[in-house]
Structure 1
């Protein structure tokens, strides 16, 4: 939500594939899941109120629901403001602004959801594509490998002697690294970078060592947590440990590329995996909620200080085995509001704690939210360190030891 008023607008983002390309033809979609094919894929952002969206589309704009969107450069006064970014080899660096003239609810990943209604026009011809995209849903299933949990445990066994947690300044996105005393990266937690909607928040320089190919732990399949893999393709040669979640077409394309390289390991839902310096845990939020069913990391640094990296997981869904107070917390969802309240915020070590916030100045989501910052402060997280510019402190990477 972009405000707290009674008529609060929401930002609805869709991972899309061109309908004319897919069209239900057997095998065509799978052929697009390669590094060479980009044309059919796009990300679309619509700004409207949740009530207006559901009135027009016949279903709520929630993860797992599929819609047919008709977008164009112009529309009527009733049309919805829309931003469209087409996938390129380097991800989503640019977008065009237009309008959505029609939305039609098609169905859900789970086969449930509201009955398919008669679509309502928002200023142009009513959409006529009302076929449930079963071929697309099937094609977007995450590839899985046998004995993935054993492989995950084996790979993580070398992630030891972590000295530094580095939160990279990637603007409105998430990218963190666990490093040893020599500065060598042992593990990346998320490899995000802003897509075009927040491109103005990107850093002028984005340097990472292309010779380093550490394991990547992906919190969840949102673009601002994985987009750097398109700007720095060597990241696709890393082994990725990912949550088992429903994917949109663009995310499924990346998953299939990683699987084809032999680098995709799907972490079992509900499981946790210990490694010498910490633990990966699967959050236990509602099924289908990407943010709250992702992977989180708890790490004990060489100093003995404890840090927790949350991705976009609400604190009420964390499942780490240790419940002791922690020294460093990467704030959930770039400092956005969260539902669980202050009682669920991890307890800080008094006088030795930092709340790290990864966000970009003037981002379109208006992160961080003052209410969230106040809740953290009330829970003892008063030392709040953003990657964005903070008064006289310039933007940049932030490190804790």
Structure 2
């Protein structure tokens, strides 16, 4: 199997060797956290489809996966990381024994259709139902607007060196945080890309989350000062581990789910209109106006053509989408024909980011490129956009 064709499939997982009651208690953080795990499976798309018996793998599908210790049998490599006090940090190398497709969220009906339906599907359906976005946090655009309306225009945007993850902060002239754009930290299998954990000057600063991928929200567990923040987030489907985070934030009235555009203070938040169910393409993008009047565009992992609301003027600075990975469509152009772009990426990450094609596309469009990782003889480190 040519290495270049391999794809990393990632799963927000829960140990299926328990009752539905225990599983729901785990998701609600009333039982052993280590039963929650992030799983990475490395194989080709074609081989995954063959093993799982599916046409196309996509967000929102549920699988039963059986793993064995590495060396027990040949098969695709896997890595599992259980949830600990500081997040998904430890890693266990494994091999795939079996993967079975169960159902997709949105299937109708989701209830058992006969006596032949296995207990594993019944359990998975109960978990899927419990993983819905907290209803109490839906429709909070007005609350988010009121919260952000008091924010001052930032002096600059700090693109933090957090390895293979995304964590940016809007700061004033003294370096005090005003709000965060994502709050990521590397998952265990990209732990080698991590730097020292950032120290925040202020706690309880609002977090605008682009979407519910762990490399964008793992700081909730890993970085002190973020648990007490109010999180403004897209209403999306959640896995078991993400649901635990959402539920704890919602219980403390710190989760604001938005599904429409929000303009407040120096911020314009837009819900990207990508394919329904695709986390990367249906999250929030952010346009921020600095004190200088210049603007910064932050897309999370979404394609530039999905920016919402539509740009009233071209940006002066951007954080490259998806850590410099390939994307569909064209690059947004810089105002005046030139601007500065930062790629938040960790050297040696397991995805091969950044893509040379994407880097060339940005630079060819007029963007001056910099990277949070070591590259072209420049040491790794935090980068700045502005003033």
Q: What is the TM-score normalised by the length of structure 2?
A: 0.92
- Displacement of 1:112 in angstroms is 6.2
Structure 2 unmatched runs, 5+: 113-117
1:362 matched residue in structure 2: 348
Give the Cα–Cα distance (whole angstroms) in 2 for the partners of residues 378 and 320 of structure 1.
25
Alpha-carbon spacing, 1:31–1:92, altered in 2? closer, same or farther (3 Å): closer
Alpha-carbon spacing, 1:365–1:87, altered in 2? closer, same or farther (3 Å): same
Residue 141 of structure 1, aligned match among 132, 143, 146? 132
Structure 1 unmatched runs, 5+: 117-126
Alpha-carbon spacing, 1:132–1:346, altered in 2? closer, same or farther (3 Å): same
Contact 1:16 1:41 (8 Å CA) reproduced: yes
Task: Note if 1:50 corresponds to 2:13.
Answer: no
Contact 2:63 2:99 (8 Å CA) reproduced: yes
Contact 1:163 1:302 (8 Å CA) reproduced: yes
SS of residue in 1 equivalent to 2:33: coil
Alpha-carbon spacing, 1:112–1:331, altered in 2? closer, same or farther (3 Å): farther
2:115 matched residue in structure 1: none
Contact 1:105 1:130 (8 Å CA) reproduced: no
- Displacement of 1:37 in angstroms is 4.0
Write out per-residue CA displacement over residues 49-90 of structure 1, whole angstroms, 9 at most, x where no aligned residue: 111111111123321100000001046664211111111011
Alpha-carbon spacing, 1:205–1:39, altered in 2? closer, same or farther (3 Å): closer
Task: Note if 1:395 corresponds to 2:380.
Answer: yes
- Displacement of 1:35 in angstroms is 7.6
Give the Cα–Cα distance (whole angstroms) in 2 for the partners of residues 9 and 297 of structure 1.
32
Residue 59 of structure 2, aligned match among 41, 63, 67? 63
Residue 190 of structure 1, aligned match among 163, 182, 192? 182
Contact 2:198 2:223 (8 Å CA) reproduced: no
1:10 matched residue in structure 2: 7
Residue 256 of structure 2, aligned match among 254, 265, 285? 265
1:162 matched residue in structure 2: 154
Give the Cα–Cα distance (whole angstroms) in 2 for the partners of residues 295 and 391 of structure 1.
32
Task: Note if 1:171 corresponds to 2:172.
Answer: no
Give the Cα–Cα distance (whole angstroms) in 1 for the partners of residues 276 and 132 of structure 2.
15
Paired residues in the alignment total: 376
Give the Cα–Cα distance (whole angstroms) in 2 for the partners of residues 192 and 74 of structure 1.
29
- Displacement of 1:161 in angstroms is 2.2
Task: Note if 1:19 corresponds to 2:11.
Answer: no
Give the Cα–Cα distance (whole angstroms) in 2 for the partners of residues 278 and 217 of structure 1.
10
- Displacement of 1:220 in angstroms is 0.5
Task: Note if 1:95 corresponds to 2:91.
Answer: yes
Give the Cα–Cα distance (whole angstroms) in 2 for the partners of residues 231 and 304 of structure 1.
34
Contact 2:15 2:35 (8 Å CA) reproduced: yes
SS of residue in 2 equivalent to 1:235: coil
Task: Note if 1:218 corresponds to 2:209.
Answer: yes
Residue 230 of structure 1, aligned match among 215, 221, 228? 221
1:124 matched residue in structure 2: none
Output the aligned Cα RMSD: 2.2
Give the Cα–Cα distance (whole angstroms) in 2 for the partners of residues 259 and 251 of structure 1.
12
Give the Cα–Cα distance (whole angstroms) in 1 for the partners of residues 125 and 231 of structure 2.
27
Give the Cα–Cα distance (whole angstroms) in 2 for the partners of residues 281 and 72 of structure 1.
43
Give the Cα–Cα distance (whole angstroms) in 1 for the partners of residues 230 and 30 of structure 2.
17
1:298 matched residue in structure 2: 287
Q: What is the TM-score normalised by the length of structure 1?
A: 0.89
1:123 matched residue in structure 2: none
Alpha-carbon spacing, 1:372–1:350, altered in 2? closer, same or farther (3 Å): same
1:121 matched residue in structure 2: none
Alpha-carbon spacing, 1:278–1:374, altered in 2? closer, same or farther (3 Å): same
Alpha-carbon spacing, 1:37–1:24, altered in 2? closer, same or farther (3 Å): closer
Contact 1:176 1:188 (8 Å CA) reproduced: yes
Give the Cα–Cα distance (whole angstroms) in 2 for the partners of residues 147 and 13 of structure 1.
29
